[in-house]
Amino acid sequence: MLELVKASLRGADDEDDALLLQLIDSASRECAQYIYGGVPDYDLAGAAKNPVHVPELVNGIVILVQADYEDDHARRDEYVAVARKLWWPYRNDLSI
């Protein structure tokens, strides 16, 4: 996941790895909150429930990491809207 994120960002290098890993964790938690209504205990729910292991959800996570990495607060809402459109079909309350 880290390499995918770095490939999508301009100017990210190895010195940014710790920050990017934090942003990936934050974005995956935001995704889980949106699709599951909370962040599950992946030890109990299974790793497959972790959004970073669901290819269709990864693009939205990458978008949020990009928004936070660029630290552009004015555009973050736009990035979140795009990510949520990608995540929408996977929401638990939609029974898909």
Question: What one-letter code names the amino acid at 92?
Answer: N
Instruction: Report residue 10's pLDDT band, with 50, 70 and 90 as the boundaries.
Output: confident
Task: Check: CB of residue 65 under 8 Å from CB of residue 19.
Answer: no
Query: What is residue 60's predicted lDDT score, i.e. its pLDDT?
Result: 96
Task: Check: CB of residue 54 under 8 Å from CB of residue 30.
Answer: no
Task: Check: CB of residue 66 under 8 Å from CB of residue 9.
Answer: yes
Residue range 52-81, pLDDT digits in tens? 888 889 999 999 999 999 988 889 999 999
